[in-house]
């Protein structure tokens, strides 16, 4: 092949990034029984979860408008439940939530910094005062509200909270004792004020008996990572 033609083909070739659900099925023969998604936005990933065979799910979203869309997205799925809440390390704190103009995407409890340089087209012209909850409080309330069976099915924590992933994990320490998989957006830091880079997240989850399965970071310094309970590694 001519070198120039090779360069052109390489430039336009679409590389497939690893998908956590496909990865778990391919390498471990496992499909999670239930997903707890923190930062579900308008439910754009609900269809993927259902298609991949996840029959149970709890989807948490703090923004009221996105939450209404989320409820519509899960409506066809009997085993799915939506909750309007903001997860952090502690419950009951009032914080400022920075809302983007991209249908809620990129919104965060952390003030955007480097994100403004990388994506100047994304504005943050709105702020909301929201009260925090935690993953552990949400799971506890699920049981109190008559959803104990659904709560018991949740074995995957799926987090996309724009730099506040470690904060959410610190409020999920009880849930992490029963979870098998954690998928989270990660970065090298510097996108939001006070955000956490991937290394402290790896360390925190190792303390809770999870090992990194894969991670990828794009040229802007952010990506995703999958963690699996360490007992799954080394099995035949």
Of the candidates 226, 231, 202, 230, which has an alpha carbon nearest to the alpha carbon of residue 213?
Answer: 226
In-domain check, residue 102? no
In-domain check, residue 96? no
Q: Tokens 């869309």 sit at which residue?
A: 69
In-domain check, residue 223? yes
In-domain check, residue 108? no
In-domain check, residue 107? no
Per-residue pLDDT of the chain (236 residues), as tens digits, is: 545 454 445 444 455 677 999 999 999 999 999 999 999 999 999 999 999 999 999 999 999 999 999 999 999 999 999 999 999 999 999 999 888 776 656 788 888 775 655 665 665 678 899 999 999 999 999 999 999 999 999 999 999 998 899 999 999 999 999 999 999 999 898 777 888 999 999 999 999 999 999 999 988 888 999 999 999 997 76
Of the candidates 60, 37, 38, which has an alpha carbon nearest to the alpha carbon of residue 48?
Answer: 37
Residue 130 near residue 86 (C-beta atoms within 8 A):
yes
pLDDT at 8: 45
Phi, psi of 2 (to 5 degrees): -65, 135
In-domain check, residue 191? yes
Gap between the Cα atoms of 127 and 115, Å rounded:
16
The total number of structural domains that make up the chain = 1
Instruction: Please compute Rg for the chain using Cα positions.
Output: 18
In-domain check, residue 211? yes
Domain range for residue 49? 15-87+135-232
pLDDT at 101: 79
Beta bridge partners of 35: 57, 156
CATH no. for residue 173? 3.40.50.150
In-domain check, residue 125? no
């Amino acid at each position: 092949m001519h070198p120039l033609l090779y360069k052109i083909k390489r430039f336009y070739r679409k590389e497939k990034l690893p998908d956590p659900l496909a990865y778990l099925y391919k390498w471990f023969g496992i499909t999670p029984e239930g997903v707890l998604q923190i930062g579900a936005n308008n439910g754009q990933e609900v269809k993927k979860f259902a298609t991949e065979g996840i029959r149970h799910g709890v989807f948490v979203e703090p923004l009221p408008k996105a939450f209404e869309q989320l409820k519509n997205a899960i409506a066809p799925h009997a085993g799915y439940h939506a909750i309007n809440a903001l997860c952090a390390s502690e419950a009951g704190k009032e914080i400022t939530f920075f809302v983007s103009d991209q249908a809620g995407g990129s919104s965060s409890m952390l003030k955007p910094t480097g994100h403004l340089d990388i994506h100047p087209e994304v504005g943050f012209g709105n702020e909301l005062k929201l009260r925090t909850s935690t993953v552990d409080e949400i799971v506890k309330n699920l049981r109190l509200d008559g959803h104990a069976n659904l709560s018991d099915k949740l074995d995957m924590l799926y987090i996309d909270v724009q730099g506040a992933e470690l904060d959410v994990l610190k409020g999920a320490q009880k849930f992490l004792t029963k979870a098998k998989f954690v998928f989270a957006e990660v970065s090298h830091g510097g996108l939001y004020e006070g955000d956490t880079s991937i290394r402290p997240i790896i360390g925190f989850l190792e303390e809770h008996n999870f090992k990194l399965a894969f991670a990828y970071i794009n040229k802007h310094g952010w990506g995703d990572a999958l963690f699996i309970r360490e007992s799954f590694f080394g099995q035949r």
